[in-house]
Structure 1
Amino acid sequence: MKNKPAFATMEALAAVLIIGFLIVIFILFIHPPKQFADARNVRRTSNVGTILTALNQYIIDNGAGPPGVDGIWRVLGTADSGCNINCAKKIPTGIEAAGCLDLTPYLVPKYLLNIPSDPKLGKPEITYYAVRQTINGRIEVLSCGLESNQ
């Protein structure tokens, strides 16, 4: 009785080609970097809603917004400088204020456990979330870190 090899050369080549084809399909159609960016954008949208809800609740409880929330876009955080980041996708003029607005004393722990930070770029010093109050008294919050042209 003659022993046959487990895989012939052609069978091995076919297996490698099939695996290669599956990898190409995975990269082209599933595109993991885009999926990760989309997941971070969902988190950013959720964080914007969380901050907005906390600010609105503060206004209900105190009759006015926290000190520092005015008509100028300000990035939330604890840094004294470097907060005039490029938020050009949403604010054509960019962030004007160089210092961040620290809302921690007003919102934490009563309304938030902590001030949310951008999932990719943010840290407590510069969160990459901006806030302002409109002339009508409405609070606006936005994310300066959105990816994928959203």
Structure 2
Amino acid sequence: MQKKIQNKATPASRQGFTLIEILVVIGLIAILAGVVLIAINPARQFAQARNSQRVSNVTTIMNALGQDLAEHKGVSSCTSITNSTTTIGTGGTDLSTCLSLYIASGIPMDPVASSSANTLYEISVNSSGRYTICAPKHAEAVLGTSVYCLVR
């Protein structure tokens, strides 16, 4: 009988973790997750990705316009481009008809644009025939960013 009492009192038969041990581990994981989120800063990463896409889209539109100008001896077939700055899209200056030969996937839209009627990109041509295409203001999560424009 004394042997049974001794076996119950020994800690060698204990299995599993205590509540305190589990809470300490959960707390450490939460602290590490917080540190990682602060280091990664997902809002800034997404803003940089959108800004990179804007630069790529403006370059794509400008390259297509350059091909159009080269093919038509310096005069664009996009007659809807005026001296005043207008928005590119089916609701503004529709470049899809004149640049569709050069951009297979269609006129690119800004990453935050909701429809092809307003791509959020702007285009203008000055009196000397220089074209300017601008992306909307870059995401504010990236310090030191402004409107991105390309002139040809």
Matched residue SS, 2:27: helix
Q: Distance in 2 between matches of 1:36 and 1:56?
A: 30
With normalisation by structure 1, the TM-score equals 0.78
Q: Which runs of 4+ in 1 moved over 6 A?
A: none
Matched, 1:64 2:55: no
1:45–1:143 contact (8 Å) kept in structure 2: yes
Superimposed CA distance per residue, residues 46-85 of structure 1 (whole angstroms, 9 cap, x where no aligned partner): 0000000001111111131221222211111112xxxxxx
Matched residue SS, 2:13: coil
Aligned residues: 129
Q: Which has the higher contact order (CA 8 A, sep 6+)?
A: 1
Q: What residue number does 1:26 align with?
A: 36
Q: Distance in 1 between matches of 2:13 and 2:90?
A: 73
- Structure 1, unpaired ranges of 5+: 80-99
1:117 to 109, 114, 133: 109
User: How big is the shift at 1:130?
Assistant: 0.6
Structure 2: which amino acid aligns with 1:119?
A: P
Matched, 1:101 2:101: no
Q: Distance in 1 between matches of 2:14 and 2:24?
A: 18
Matched residue SS, 1:16: helix
Q: What residue number does 1:133 align with?
A: 125
- Sequence identity (%): 29
Q: Distance in 2 between matches of 1:122 and 1:61?
A: 32
Bigger radius of gyration: 2
Say what the alpha-carbon RMSD is for the aligned residues.
1.7
Q: Distance in 1 between matches of 2:80 and 2:139?
A: 28
Q: What residue number does 1:78 align with?
A: 90
With normalisation by structure 2, the TM-score equals 0.77
User: How big is the shift at 1:122?
Assistant: 4.1
Superimposed CA distance per residue, residues 98-140 of structure 1 (whole angstroms, 9 cap, x where no aligned partner): xx000111011x1112000011224211101111112332211
